[in-house]
Amino acid sequence: MFSTELDVGNEIDSTFKIVGIFSGTEGTTKEAITPDSIPANCGYVDISSIDELYELKGYDYLDVYAYSPEETKELMETIKNLPDVKGKTFTFNINTEDFDIVSTPLSSFGSIVDTAVLTITVIGMFVIVLFLVLWTRSRKKEIAVLLAVGRSKAEIVGQFLTENIWIAILSMFASTALSFGLANQIGSFIVSRLGENISKLTVQIATSDMLKVFGIGVILICLAVIVASYTVIRLQPKDILTKME
């Protein structure tokens, strides 16, 4: 219902110009119950003419979009406290249906990813330790010689750490390039699983997350090198060479 300054019995004369005949709706008239439900029997007027005819000012409703439900709540409180709004009979409503459609599958996907990352980290730790143990044992003679010529155990472990960290740095560059290359493909896969509700999803890899992963990787490598080196470094050069024989 619109509020105007008219009383019962008043009339309004308005002049409109016909700019065209609406057509192309022949296939949409099957569900029409009354003649006025048929699109071809209706007149269509632009918004400006409606506002002028009914003396409307402002808007009937306002849609505000935010990046998260938390931000939506903050925006609602801000709008409620606006001088032109506060104390008036406006109805406010938060609709998170679209957000829930996206966030619910992503939350499940995130839990799966977290579990997978933890599992891969643990397995990777054991694999790295095993590989480095075998690699260190293959260099027993080199370690024995270095110890015999006066190199300290700390220097030898430091050399092993340096070698492995350089390899890790090269692997990090390769994994970074691979991650950014696969990001969009992962987004397309998620969209295909969500159905028709989402048409596009942009997957972004935060630099902070990459640094955390690299930091954890370096810590794991350091621990693995120390554990692997200890099995040989704890022996004396003579004992190492004797066991080799």
DSSP string, the chain: ----S--TT----------------GGG-TT--SGGGSGGG-----HHHHHHHHT--S-S------SSHHHHHHHHHHHHTSTTTTTS--------HHHHHHHHHHHHHHHHHHHHHHHHHHHHHHHHHHHHHHHHHTTHHHHHHHHHTT--HHHHHHHHHHHHHHHHHHHHHHHHHHHHHHHHHHHHHHHHHH-TT-S-------HHHHHHHHHHHHHHHHHHHHHHHHHHHTS-HHHHHHHH-
Provide the whole-model pTM.
Answer: 0.47
The better pLDDT of the pair 169, 109 is held by 169
For residue 128, what pLDDT band results from cuts at 50, 70 and 90? confident
Give the pLDDT score at 175.
Answer: 80
pLDDT by residue (tens digit) across 173-188?
888 878 777 777 776 7
Give the pLDDT score at 1.
Answer: 44
Give the pLDDT score at 245.
Answer: 55
